[in-house]
């Protein structure tokens, strides 16, 4: 009988261990069944957020395309040339008539800023303009032109 008493607790332990393993398996399966829909919901929310961001970027891209198209138009370029660079139409340039000599039968010389060579920027532009005016007035005074 002692032998039968020793084997009885082993059988109950094996049934308890099998029950515990079964319970753990059921809990793990339940957790997986609950976590999977939660993960799917989270991923769907992230997809919606990214689609909204993509829509916003597409709208911004369209705005930038319209801006580029307007900047490439001739009217915009002309306005920028007038406002920023101070350019004018050739008809708007004032010309100076210079008498070249004592007789009126000599041809009249017209000079315009549009016909002049493009000067450098800064102080050198002013100095070259002053030198042109001085050269012309000295030549007229000497009667060379």
Residue 47: predicted pLDDT: 97
Output the tens digit of pLDDT for each of the chain's 145 residues.
455 555 544 456 788 888 899 999 999 999 888 888 888 999 999 999 999 999 999 999 999 999 999 998 888 888 888 888 888 887 777 767 777 666 555 554 554 444 445 545 677 777 777 777 667 665 555 555 5
The predicted structure's pLDDT at residue 82: 86
Q: What is the pLDDT, as a whole number, of residue 60?
A: 97
Q: Are residue 82 and residue 98 in the same domain, yes or no?
A: no
Whether residue 109 sits in one domain with residue 62: no
SS in 3 state form for the chain?
A: CHHHHHHHHHHHHHHHHHHHHHHHHHHHHHHHHHHHHHHHHHHHHHHHHHHHHHHHHHHHHHHHHHHHHHHCCHHHHHHHHHHCCCCCCHHHCCEEEECCCCCCCCCCEEEECCCCCCCCCCHHHHHHHHHHHHHHHHHHHHCCC
pLDDT at site 3? 52
Same domain, 21 and 60: yes
Tokens of 3: 């032998």
Same domain, 96 and 37: no
Domain residues for 28? 1-87
Task: State the total domains in the chain.
Answer: 2
Q: Are residues 135 and 82 in the same domain?
A: no
User: Global pTM?
Assistant: 0.40
Same-domain check for residues 16 and 52: yes
Q: Which among 51, 71, 87 is the end of a domain?
A: 87
């Amino acid at each position: 009988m002692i032998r039968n008493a020793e084997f009885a607790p082993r059988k109950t332990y094996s049934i308890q261990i099998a029950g515990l393993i079964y319970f753990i398996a059921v809990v793990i399966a339940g957790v997986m069944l609950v976590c999977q829909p939660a993960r799917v919901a989270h991923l769907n929310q992230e997809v919606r957020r990214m689609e909204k961001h993509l829509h916003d970027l597409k709208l911004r891209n369209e705005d930038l395309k319209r801006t580029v198209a307007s900047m490439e138009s001739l009217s915009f370029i002309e306005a920028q040339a007038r406002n920023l660079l101070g350019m004018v139409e050739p008809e708007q340039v004032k010309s100076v008539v210079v008498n070249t000599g004592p007789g009126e039968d000599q041809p009249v010389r017209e000079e315009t800023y549009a016909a002049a060579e493009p000067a450098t920027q800064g102080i050198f532009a002013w100095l070259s303009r002053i030198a042109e005016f001085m050269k012309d007035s000295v030549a007229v005074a000497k009667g060379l032109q």
